[in-house]
Structure 1
Amino acid sequence: MSVLNRYWESTNESIPNESRTILNEYLLSLKLENKAVATITKYRRFLERFLKECKIPIEELSSEDVRKWLDKFSVDKKPKTVDLVLATLSSFFSFCLKEEYMETTVMKKRWKPKIPKALPKYLDEHEYAHVKRIAEQLSVRNRALLLFLFATGCRVSEASNLNIEDVNINKRTAEVTGKGGKIRHVHFSEECALVLKEYLQTRNNEPTEPFFMNKFGQRLLKGGIQQVLKKVGIKANLRQSFHPHVCRHTFATNMLARGADLQFIADEMGHFDLNTTRIYARIPTEDMKLKYQNIMG
């Protein structure tokens, strides 16, 4: 494997050797825990910046040293970004304490910024119906892709990584690989199943082939999926940008409006923490009542 692909390894020579060795032990521990590639890469970049700019040996770091760096880093940064960096540093320093590279805790709970609790961005009933009408004008692949995202609430990476052998159209289930390599089974509607079957009939299929393919016969990657949805959003004149996570949020709000309980929704979406799913219960009550009436009558 090339150095470029060793996402769990820092080669940043601006970091003191001893600190970089500890950093790489930490990153390897994340990989062994099956943390997502994107998570490890993000953590590595934040920690590389910290260790490059704060060259004090890890065993000599104090709360004041970390606080000074945070003050500089936080200028013009969004609270969510600062919170992510705090979480990254906390995880790294916890590792250092456990491995006895540090003797005292340097992070303070009071540093955590207040983050506005925004509601998930989802399509309301009229937007949802309009986008589905637009989908009828799309190619069979794009229609299958859109209906699959709406029906399952899958993440864009889960849809991209899907192979033909992972989908059972007769049982209307698919086996997807979620964050941390965790496998789960999702379900989809009869309407979705019919379009998925129609799409497969346009191809010569091998079980190990990607389910969604681009025009070159290769796997449709996350960027390609995002572009498909972006064009649909423009065509539908949506007020918000249309991306795969909007489909995921729309799936959750539709399920909640139909009376599904939060644990069922969490299982379908691959949420390991029920608190992640509870955000959907914060959608205004009247809006949910109206949505339920419009869908169910």
Structure 2
Amino acid sequence: MFADNSQTPGLVPVLPAMGLVEARDPGFANPERQATMSELVPYFLGYGKVERNWSDTTLRTYGNSLRWIIRIIGDLPPQRIRLEHVLRVKADCVRRGAGNHHTATVVAALKSFLRFCQLSVGLETMDVQQIRCPRIPKTEVLYLTPEEVQQFVAAIPIHKSQRGFDLKWLCFRTLVEVLLGTGVRISEGLSLKRTSVNFQTGEATIVGKGNKERVIFFSPRSLNWIKEYLIRRKDGGESLFVVGTNGRPLTLSTALVWFRRFREMAGIKKKVTAHVFRHTVATTLLFNGCPIGHIKDILGHERLITTCNFYLGTDKRAAKKAHRDFLDYERAE
């Protein structure tokens, strides 16, 4: 997980405090030399995995972002990074046509890395408060109506004949029903095992975002689809969702290809992705009167503000009714 200590000779004064190396390590021959970004990045990613419980996706994104930054500004010691280097990174994002989301991710990776160098390694770096991420305008939450949900699932050909099922598409239909019946992220759904689901309680325990364990709840409809699917499987695979007769786990890349395929077949104009089903669960709960705090728990958000920022104000019907009921100048007298 961590880089070979013999290749990072400038860390002897600081890494012992992290518990990563011993000060007498013979590989640190020149304690006066300043370690560069590329030498410290493996330690930063190791810290993120062990101490912060970052997901593999976050680790991969931050690692790629920092390697790209190194190519732009050079392999500098963190102490030498200045605001002009940050501006150069942002300018290169603009030159390449990167959007605000991508630029914000790159800048966030640099801020997190410098904060790690300050607090965990003990280096004197620039004040990260000076580094500002680009403002990302709030966009409308994309979700499906009940009619569009039915349109999408109806496009999945689960039957080979009147009595026979196509297991590949039955697998996908069941995955869609699980996403719609739980609100889980696609990665969380694909991580489920056969034994994960408690059919009596309608629950399962998963390891979600940030490697945090949480309980998810299945709708009766999604449980029925899981039962139907498992009854017809003949393989011995452990995963809940598999492809082929040998029970190979369904991969994220394959599932995403299937989503694109059936979006086109269903003729839905909206960009239907796995995450849109998560938004659909949240907005359906909200429109039906579910308290926002319960929606937070169902979705597995760590903070209530995250749920509020995404979904409060989504139901324009309620706003329109309030406008009609309360905007009355004659009554105001």
Instruction: State TM-score, norm by structure 1.
Output: 0.84
Query: Which residue does 1:184 correspond to in 2?
Result: 214
1:104 aligns with 2:135: no
| In 2, Cα distance between equivalents of 1:241 and 1:228 | 13
2:114 aligns with one of 75, 93, 109: 93
| In 2, Cα distance between equivalents of 1:242 and 1:177 | 25
Across the aligned residues of Structure 1 and Structure 2, the Cα RMSD in angstroms comes to 2.6
Query: Which residue does 2:67 correspond to in 1?
Result: 48
Query: Which residue does 1:229 correspond to in 2?
Result: 259
Query: Which residue does 2:327 correspond to in 1?
Result: none
8 Å CA contact 1:257, 1:289 repeated in 2: no
SS in structure 1 of the partner of residue 214 of structure 2: strand
| In 2, Cα distance between equivalents of 1:69 and 1:224 | 34
Query: What pairs with 1:111-130 in structure 2 (closer than 5 Å)?
Result: 111-130=132-151
8 Å CA contact 1:63, 1:106 repeated in 2: no
Q: Look up the equivalent residue of 1:102 and give its one-letter code.
A: E
| In 2, Cα distance between equivalents of 1:191 and 1:19 | 51
Q: Deviations over 1:236-289 (max 9, x none)?
A: 100023221111111111111111122211111111122221211131422788
Query: Which residue does 1:27 correspond to in 2?
Result: 45
8 Å CA contact 1:253, 1:280 repeated in 2: yes
Query: Which residue does 2:11 correspond to in 1?
Result: none
Q: Which has the higher contact order (CA 8 A, sep 6+)?
A: 1
SS in structure 1 of the partner of residue 176 of structure 2: helix
8 Å CA contact 2:78, 2:125 repeated in 1: no
- Cα gap change, 1:94/1:119 in structure 2, threshold over 3 Å: closer, same or farther? same
1:39 aligns with one of 58, 63, 70: 58
Query: Which residue does 2:15 correspond to in 1?
Result: none
- Cα gap change, 1:140/1:19 in structure 2, threshold over 3 Å: closer, same or farther? closer
Instruction: State TM-score, norm by structure 2.
Output: 0.76
- Cα gap change, 1:136/1:259 in structure 2, threshold over 3 Å: closer, same or farther? farther
Q: CA deviation at 1:158?
A: 0.8
- Cα gap change, 1:205/1:265 in structure 2, threshold over 3 Å: closer, same or farther? farther
1:148 aligns with one of 178, 184, 207: 178
8 Å CA contact 2:73, 2:88 repeated in 1: no
Query: Which residue does 1:66 correspond to in 2?
Result: 86
| In 2, Cα distance between equivalents of 1:106 and 1:271 | 26
| In 2, Cα distance between equivalents of 1:77 and 1:287 | 37
Q: Look up the equivalent residue of 2:78 and give its one-letter code.
A: I
SS in structure 2 of the partner of residue 271 of structure 1: coil
SS in structure 1 of the partner of residue 312 of structure 2: helix
8 Å CA contact 1:66, 1:106 repeated in 2: no
- Cα gap change, 1:9/1:234 in structure 2, threshold over 3 Å: closer, same or farther? farther
Query: Which residue does 2:312 correspond to in 1?
Result: 281
| In 2, Cα distance between equivalents of 1:132 and 1:62 | 52
Q: CA deviation at 1:9?
A: 6.0
Q: Look up the equivalent residue of 1:31 and give its one-letter code.
A: K
SS in structure 2 of the partner of residue 68 of structure 1: helix
SS in structure 2 of the partner of residue 283 of structure 1: coil
Size of the aligned set, in residue pairs, is 278
| Percent identity for Structure 1 against Structure 2 | 26
Query: Which residue does 2:30 correspond to in 1?
Result: none
Structure 1 gaps of 5+ residues are 1-5, 291-297
Q: CA deviation at 1:169?
A: 1.9
1:213 aligns with 2:242: yes
Structure 2 gaps of 5+ residues are 8-33, 160-168, 322-333
Q: Look up the equivalent residue of 1:215 and give its one-letter code.
A: G
| In 2, Cα distance between equivalents of 1:73 and 1:227 | 28
| In 1, Cα distance between equivalents of 2:243 and 2:40 | 42
Q: Look up the equivalent residue of 1:100 and give its one-letter code.
A: G
2:105 aligns with one of 78, 84, 90: 84
